[in-house]
Structure 1
Amino acid sequence: MAAQQGVPTSSLRALEEALGMGSAAGGDASDMAEGTYYLEQVTITEPSEDDYEYEEIPDDNFSIPEGEEDLAKAIQMVQEQDTDTQILEQKTVLPSKHVVPEVIEDFLCNFLIKMGMTRTLDCFQSEWYELIQKGVTKLKEVGAVPDVYTQNMVLENENKNLKKDLKQWKQAADKAREDLLKTQKERDFHRMHHKRVIQEKNKLINDLKGMKLHYASYEPTIRVLLEKHHTLLRQKMLTSMERDRAIEQLSECQISSRLVEPVPSFQATKTRAIPGYEKEFVPEGPTQRGLREAREQYKSKIRMKDNRKDSEFPTDMQPNPDLCLPTGNDSPAKFNYQLSTIFRLHDLPVSCIVMHPSKDILISCSEDRLWKAVTLPKGNVLLTGTGHNDWLSNCCFHPSGNMLATSSGDTTVKLWNMTSGNCTLTFEGHKHAVWSCTWHSCGDFVASSSLDTTSKIWDVNSERCRCTLYGHIDSVNSIEFFPCSNTLLTASADKSLSIWDARTGKCEQSLYGHMHSVNDATFTPKGHMIASCDSCGVTKLWDFRKLLPIVSIDVGPSPGNEVNFDSSGRVLAQASGSGVIHLLDLQSGQIYKLVGHENEAHTVVFSHDGESLFSGGCDGTVRVWS
């Protein structure tokens, strides 16, 4: 069925729905489905005032006063209420906004798009523009959309925006609430921590005051003890002077008695009667005999020391034999060492291993106060040295190999005869443990380094300390003579290396670069380079001719306990606190690792031919790598 001629029914119906007009009675869902529309004429009549019904509004608060005066007051009150009502009406009735009214066409299109009625929108646009082209519809007569609809749409948009803002503000408020709770918790924690710190501070202040008072009470006692100490020192000096004077008088008496001729036996009875000769012929008791023997031993020692002269440092040193070796060795350096043998020699950690200069004999020192000489490769114990009262820290062979020097925690350095294994000489003078010792190439001097921040040079012939080296401000952990020279190298816990002249005892140069305590330092066999390792595992190579660092290798964080070169000077071995032996190829810079120690490795040394490597650990074993 087609629509009536004239204005299309679908467009008019859409207009009626959009403007809120009444719909036709026959416009139900079935007719819309068939596409047929009907129009019904409706007449709207305005109601007259007679037909209008008024509501009665009860006024409980209003009362009519009695009398004329009361009537005048009532009229005045009614007028005032009327005036207030007009004012309220003027305030409540808001003027309409002067907004440009929206065209009905745009309004309908926006409405259909908003409701998602796309098919109705297409139908409306096709019929609307068709009517406009035919000239049937006059746009001026259609008018504009009432202001209330546009205001509703604006309010809806504002409502949506406000809801969106409200949601965002709620999220921001929730986040701010969480931050506030977190900040409050942190504030409470820091407040408690601050109170705890204040309490500890007050406690420490009170303890400090108590300690000050406690130590203040010691000052008078210390002063008295110092005075007594000085008095005893003076008495000691006076006593020693009187003793020396008595010894001189006794020696003079003995000399004078030797000059007196012996008395004949037949005159003995007469001489005994003389008072001056009574003491000469009294028989000598055991006490007098012991005193006489002690005096004679004391004099003999003085004569022996007077006869022994101090050794002289050689001025014309022999050239270093390692410098005469060819620079290019035929055999390549060895790095593929494998663990072959384990010697269980000590009950406590091994602190040092050295090789005999010319024989296949190995010396191991331990913290069990013993040193042992072991034959290679079987590991039979030849000699065992006992005599130190505390742990052994280091040992060194005499250049001839006939004597051994050992340093110990008992503050002494001992010299041993390698033939009998007996101690021949003990040097005493350090105030704390001795960490290291080394022989001069001439064999007349031994140098030692100690925890007391000093190093000493001992004369083997005169049996005394020739020089004390002062300069380090912390423990001196290592000491070594430069090959065939009078130069000493020391490594200290003050993070520095020092070069000394043994003849004068002066520090010639200090090398700085380590960031931690330097545990060991050594020269290459040719003496042109120095290697050092510190307590953080950093190994440094130094140019001894220029006294400048060459390279730094970090194999930490385990400490490096000892470094040693092989006989060719091309391989450097480091004993690490992690139990790993690191081998550094000085030509290529490559690092190799030997893993075999279960715990910390303290010392490492190469054999003379470089085919074997020996290492000592804290488990009391010496491990052979070949």
Structure 2
Amino acid sequence: MSARNRELGAEEAKELSLEEEEEEDEGFEGTVREAAFSITFKRKPAPPQQQTVSPVPEVVDDLVRNFLRRAGLKRTLSSFQAEWYGSAHKSLTESLNPGVSFVPDALTHRQLLLSELEEVCRETEELRAEVLAARQSLLTTQRETDFHRLQHQRVSEDKDGLNQQLRLLRTHLMSLEPARRQLEDKHQAALRQKMLLSLQRDRAQSTTGTRTNTKKHQTKNKRSINSADGSSVKPTGSGVGGPHLAQERSHTEKSPTTFSLQASIRGHRLPISCIQLHPQEPLLASASDDHTWRLWALPAHTDRVGELVMTGEGHSDWLSACSFHPDGSKLASTSGDATVRLWDLSGGLCLLTLAGHSQPTRSCSFHSSGLFLASSSADRTIKVWDLTSRRCRLTLRRHTASVNSVCFLPSSNLLLSCSADQTVALWDARLGLCTATFSGHQHHCNHVTLGPAADILASCDSAGVVKLWDLRKPEQTLVSVDAGPSTSNQVSFSQSGKVLAVASGDGLIRLVQVESCTVSSLAGHKDSVQSVTFDHKEASVVSAGSDGMINVWS
């Protein structure tokens, strides 16, 4: 019982202390209110205003506090006190004048500070978590940086090693370059030797066959004469030369309808602008837009592929034309770089560069003596070059547009030219005068050539019209053939002069019978045909075009 009495005494003592604290708080609040009212009355002494003070039910307040303390509801008590003092503070603030500030009590200030402290603690914990996460991320980034740094060092070392190996390989390649060039020269020499041997063999076989046929023919003639009892009997045959020559001509002159594609050669990567036959050997030169010219051995009747003999490089722009020296030892080429170059076919080296035209050179032609070279250009001029003195001997001016083609007449000082001004001109290269003008084309004239009879010439224009002219009568056209509607880029006579080949822009080769003016076509190119020519035996037609192909028709 005594223990219980002691516990009850302790509880009563606590209650008395709490009541005393509450009384002190109420006394403090009353003091604060009196101070506030006194300050208000001092600031505004007149006119006096009636102040309304809300009644404070202290008995009920104490009753509720005591009840909650006895029941042990501490959290409810703290909530009640916070709400009670908050409402009292609000009512007091509303009752005071706007200029009067209210000083909160210690409990309210403590509660505010505790709430702020809790907020600061919560933010501190969040910052601590963020700092830890950032530290972990920093460590991870540092480890990755170290790893990538090591990888970079390893890659740099590998790169240095590869560069060193590359330098060694380049040095080794440079050391092998002379051997490669020597082997290439030997290969080219072997190819030329092989070609020459094959040409000599073919020539020997043809000579042996001709001699055998001649002996047989003479033996037959002798037998026929002896069997006629001394009477002279002439060998039968049509025309001059007997039946053997007539038979040879019948085999040589082929009908245009009998030509078929024998071989196709991939000549250049870019379009081929011109092809030219060697004057003695079955060789063909091609000039292309890839800045090079090439020399080809034409395939025999049993071969399907031509053989590359030589390649010439030196021009800085596209090549427009090429022409063989009369003795076949040199080649002249014209180009878009406005120069004319002379090449040595024995080694493929450039012997001479002729510079004098102001615009791209279009065509060139050797004099029959081989001492002079004529060139035409887009600058509307024709230049005659002296190859001995290596200078321009003469400049011919009459055309009013680009001079697209030029050619010397065989064994003559006369020169033919055609121009984009729709005319063909005949020049005396010795005097430098234009002796005749052939007018009749309605479009740009692209090419002019002379027939085997040396009195008939053919010209073509950009509308596909081909005209035949009599060299002695320039005022009138002999024949006009429409080979269009595509442009005609080049014309070429056969060795007999009976057939005219036309290179057309629609990818066809048109064969024109000179006597009947009938036209037939050969199809085999995929793009415009730029150049066409007959071989020396008139057994084949060779063409080249913008598709980079060289086709042989036989």
Range into which the TM-score falls when normalised by the shorter chain: 0.5 to 0.7
2:255 corresponds in structure 1 to: 334
Residue 493 of structure 2 corresponds to residue 565 of structure 1: yes
Correspondence for 1:394 among 314, 321, 330: 321
Amino acid at match of 1:523: L
Residues 316-465 of structure 1: matches in 2 within 5 Å? 329-331=249-251, 332-335=253-256, 336-377=258-299, 378-465=305-392
- What CA deviation, in whole Å up to 9, does each residue of 1:85-133 have, x standing for no partner? xxxxxxxxxxxxxxxxxxxxxxxxxxxxxxxxxxxxxxxxxxxxxxxxx
CA–CA distance in structure 2, aligned partners of residues 570 and 603 of structure 1: 19
- What CA deviation, in whole Å up to 9, does each residue of 1:510-547 have, x standing for no partner? 11000000000000022110100000000000011222
Correspondence for 2:531 among 566, 578, 603: 603
Contact 1:333–1:570 (CA under 8 A) maintained in structure 2: no
1:587 corresponds in structure 2 to: 515
The residue matched to 1:526 in structure 2 has which SS?
coil
Correspondence for 1:493 among 411, 414, 420: 420
Amino acid at match of 1:388: H
CA–CA distance in structure 1, aligned partners of residues 353 and 507 of structure 2: 34
Contact 1:396–1:406 (CA under 8 A) maintained in structure 2: yes
CA–CA distance in structure 1, aligned partners of residues 308 and 250 of structure 2: 35
CA–CA distance in structure 2, aligned partners of residues 540 and 522 of structure 1: 11
Contact 1:364–1:372 (CA under 8 A) maintained in structure 2: yes
Superposed displacement of residue 483, structure 1: 1.2
CA–CA distance in structure 2, aligned partners of residues 592 and 438 of structure 1: 29
Gaps of 5+ in 1: 1-324
Contact 2:326–2:368 (CA under 8 A) maintained in structure 1: yes
Superposed displacement of residue 557, structure 1: 1.5
Residues 68-87 of structure 1: matches in 2 within 5 Å? none
CA–CA distance in structure 2, aligned partners of residues 399 and 570 of structure 1: 24
Residues 168-567 of structure 1: matches in 2 within 5 Å? 329-331=249-251, 332-335=253-256, 336-377=258-299, 378-547=305-474, 548-567=476-495
Gaps of 5+ in 2: 1-239, 300-304
CA–CA distance in structure 2, aligned partners of residues 483 and 360 of structure 1: 21
Amino acid at match of 2:472: R
Amino acid at match of 1:348: L
Superposed displacement of residue 330, structure 1: 4.3
Contact 1:333–1:571 (CA under 8 A) maintained in structure 2: no
Contact 1:576–1:601 (CA under 8 A) maintained in structure 2: yes
TM-score (norm 1): 0.47
Superposed displacement of residue 567, structure 1: 1.1
- What CA deviation, in whole Å up to 9, does each residue of 1:458-505 have, x standing for no partner? 000000000000000000000000111000000000000000000111
Superposed displacement of residue 334, structure 1: 2.9
CA–CA distance in structure 1, aligned partners of residues 267 and 522 of structure 2: 21
CA–CA distance in structure 1, aligned partners of residues 295 and 255 of structure 2: 26
Contact 2:311–2:348 (CA under 8 A) maintained in structure 1: yes
CA–CA distance in structure 2, aligned partners of residues 490 and 457 of structure 1: 13
CA–CA distance in structure 1, aligned partners of residues 441 and 267 of structure 2: 35
Amino acid at match of 1:545: R
Amino acid at match of 2:436: Q
The residue matched to 2:473 in structure 1 has which SS?
coil
The residue matched to 2:273 in structure 1 has which SS?
strand
CA–CA distance in structure 2, aligned partners of residues 376 and 589 of structure 1: 30
CA–CA distance in structure 1, aligned partners of residues 393 and 255 of structure 2: 42
CA–CA distance in structure 2, aligned partners of residues 557 and 588 of structure 1: 20
Amino acid at match of 1:556: G
CA–CA distance in structure 2, aligned partners of residues 516 and 399 of structure 1: 33
The residue matched to 1:393 in structure 2 has which SS?
strand
CA–CA distance in structure 2, aligned partners of residues 556 and 504 of structure 1: 37
CA–CA distance in structure 2, aligned partners of residues 532 and 376 of structure 1: 27
Contact 2:468–2:480 (CA under 8 A) maintained in structure 1: yes
The residue matched to 1:474 in structure 2 has which SS?
coil
The residue matched to 2:531 in structure 1 has which SS?
strand
Contact 2:525–2:549 (CA under 8 A) maintained in structure 1: no
- What CA deviation, in whole Å up to 9, does each residue of 1:393-428 have, x standing for no partner? 000000000010000010000000010000000100
CA–CA distance in structure 2, aligned partners of residues 411 and 517 of structure 1: 21
CA–CA distance in structure 2, aligned partners of residues 415 and 347 of structure 1: 23
Superposed displacement of residue 333, structure 1: 3.7
TM-score (norm 2): 0.53
- What CA deviation, in whole Å up to 9, does each residue of 1:544-572 have, x standing for no partner? 12223101011212000000011111110
How many residues matched?
A: 302
- What CA deviation, in whole Å up to 9, does each residue of 1:426-455 have, x standing for no partner? 100000000000000000000000000000
CA–CA distance in structure 1, aligned partners of residues 402 and 444 of structure 2: 9
The residue matched to 1:539 in structure 2 has which SS?
strand
Residues 60-139 of structure 1: matches in 2 within 5 Å? none
The residue matched to 1:602 in structure 2 has which SS?
strand
